[in-house]
Structure formats: structure tokens, C-alpha cells
Chains A and B, each alone.
Chain A
Amino acid sequence: GENVEQHPSTLSVQEGDSAVIKCTYSDSASNYFPWYKQELGKGPQLIIDIRSNVGEKKDQRIAVTLNKTAKHFSLHITETQPEDSAVYFCAAIITGGGNKLTFGTGTQLKVEL
């Protein structure tokens, strides 16, 4: 089955700096890669996603890049703010193949003032 690795497990940045979280996946058939933000005591919230036919996608301060050859995808957050502090999960899925997400292990992002 699919295996998704995520790094780093914790990340601390100063407010205004950029944060980058990286994930790798094992199944080349995976074609959809969402990123979720989870605040304490809440369910994951979809913040951005990318499909395998696209190399990069941006939404305001958040961007995701995908390297299908290397099976890497990354989340980039620019101009970080304290409210960005949360746990971020990457995930991979083969759409149409049951739509079962495989999650990464999560990154605890802390944005310090």
C-alpha cells in the first residue's frame, strides 16, 4: 500500500518567515495530494491540494509543489502568522481507487512572535 513520509515533525519559525514542510510518497499511482491543517481538538481542515497533472499551485500565502518523478511534494507558507500555528498533515490518494487517504505523520508548526 501507499506510504507517506513527512518532515520535519516539528518546525518553529519567527513570525514573517517562511515555513516549508516536505512529504514523499511511495505509490506512483497516487494522483491527488491534499494538505490539511489541524488545530487542537478539531478535525483536519483542507487548506490546499494538488493533482498529479500540475507541478505547482498557489493560494495567497500558501503554495504546494509536486515532483512526480521524485515522488515529493511540499507545502510552502510565506509571511507566517501566529494563527498559522497548528499541526499540518500531507496526504496522498489514488482517486477512484476507493479514495482512501494515506496521511503523513504530521508537522507541528509553531510561529513565534
Chain B
Amino acid sequence: GAVVSQHPSWVICKSGTSVKIECRSLDFQATTMFWYRQFPKQSLMLMATSNEGSKATYEQGVEKDKFLINHASLTLSTLTVTSAHPEDSSFYICSAILGPVNSPLHFGNGTRLTVT
């Protein structure tokens, strides 16, 4: 079964509003989670690394004030898209390391965000 749960699976919002996406690790503790963004027919692009109890590390070109990441517990990381615009419409996917540092990465089922 799924080891990483993501919610919601899809969301439609109006321009200017904020949307929160949750990523939960099931049956294990994840000190590190990753957030990816995927445009249609393209590969996954890493947005940020979410560290439990500390600030997220953002990749170059990703606005940290627009994509707020909170990793308040060992099983939950959240991504909030603030003041969403149509260009933020995308597929957002989280992942977590299952086990020790050399363990495989497992992905959630993604969230399809559409901003109208």
C-alpha cells in the first residue's frame, strides 16, 4: 500500500487565493520530505527540501514566500501556494525517504492544482 499520502488529489481555486497541500508519511517517520512540480509531459522538478523542525531549503528560482513549506512533525509536511495565479497551475508531488538516509524515495500521488 501507499507509504506517502497526499491531499487533496486535485483542487481548483481562484486567482489570489491560497491553497494548502498536505503530505503525510504513513507508518514511518520522515525527517526529510521533498516537494516537486511537474508540468504536462515534462519531468519532475525539485522545488524544495522540507526538513522537520527547521526551515525548508529551496531550489534556485523557487520563490520561498510564494511556496510556503512547513514540516512541523515527523509525519506531515505542507506546501501552501500563496496568492495563486494561473501560471501556478501544475501537478505538485511530494516524496519522502522511507527509512535511513540510503533508503529509496517514495512519492505521493500528487495534487493537480488549477488556478482560474
Give the size of the chain B interface in residues (CB under 8 angstroms). Answer: 23
Q: How large is the interface on A (under 10, 10 to 19, 20 to 34, 35 or more residues)?
A: 20 to 34
Tally of A-B residue pairs with Cβ under 8 A? 54
Closest B residue to A39 by CB, please name it: B109
Chain B residues within 8 Å of A99, by CB: 32, 34, 97, 101, 105
| Interchain CA distance A103-B39 in the complex, whole Å | 14
Q: Is the interface of A mostly helix, strand, loop or mixed?
A: loop
- Are A96 and B101 in touch, CB under 8 angstroms? yes
B12: Cβ under 8 A from any A Cβ:
no
- Are B6 and A43 in touch, CB under 8 angstroms? yes
Q: Mark B2-33, 1 if CB is under 8 A from A, else 0.
A: 00101000000000000000000000000010
A:7-29 near B, CB below 8 Å: none
- Are B107 and A36 in touch, CB under 8 angstroms? yes
